[in-house]
Amino acid sequence: MSNLELIGKKLGMTREFYETGQSIPVTVLKMEKARVISLIEPEKRGYTAIQIGFGNVKSSKLTKQMKGFFAKKNTEPRKTLKEIRVKDASTFKEGNEFGIEIFNDVKFVDIKSKTIGKGFAGAMKRHNFSGLRASHGVSISHRSHGSTGQRQDPGKVFKNKKMAGHMGDKYRTVQNLEIIKKDLENQLLFVKGSIPGSRNSEVTVRKAIKNINRLTVAEKNEAAKKAKSLADKKKK
């Protein structure tokens, strides 16, 4: 179950207080329960996976083919379908649902979301260029990016050259974010720090793929509490 993912939306940011008075900024994520739509066997596709669905959608919004697909699976239509590869699909059954309980033993997660779009931006804002000199001889080009090409050979601008263009509105993944708190009843996930995207933007959450050895905030506070109690006992 370690490679399972959940889709949700970003509600916003708040803070979480501890007994020590420590204030931790957190992002609140409203997760949706995932339903197993179909099982993918290696005999058919060459790999083992499960297809899961998120969110509700009106039947009128579906194509004729998708209406037939959901009718065949005898399940309610889902807005988003996603394939997740698993080692053994026999542990899942069509129609089963799972939520943030899959993160019960997970301390750190990776979150993928789309950054806020900034529109067309210049080289100074988009790539942190310093711009040209603000002195005599520089005419109406103080914020330009300068030269972008070469001479006759190669005589072109190479791909991926840092220039002005569309800024933001791209998918980015933030790794190793700590789970501060979970609300199983309301399917809320409280994650330390900020994540890309605006309010109500879609996010994908999965267990961190890296092995994280650092202590969580709760573990640090517990260790400090124990150290303090030991010090007090020695004084007595």
Instruction: Tell me the domains of the chain and their CATH numbers.
Output: 5-117+172-235 (3.30.160.810), 118-167 (no CATH)
Tens-place pLDDT, residues 53-106: 998 889 899 999 999 999 998 888 999 899 988 888 888 888 888 999 999 989
**Residues ≥6 apart with Cβ < 8 Å to 44:** none
Tens-place pLDDT, residues 122-169: 999 999 999 999 888 888 899 999 888 888 888 889 999 999 999 999
Tell me what percent of the residues of the chain surpass a pLDDT of 90: 56
Q: What is the mean pLDDT of residues 156-184?
A: 94
Which tokens go with 127?
């790539």
* pLDDT recorded at residue 225: 86
**Confidence grade of residue 8 (pLDDT, cut at 50, 70, 90):** very high
pLDDT over threshold 90, residue 191: yes
Q: What is the mean pLDDT of residues 2-18?
A: 90
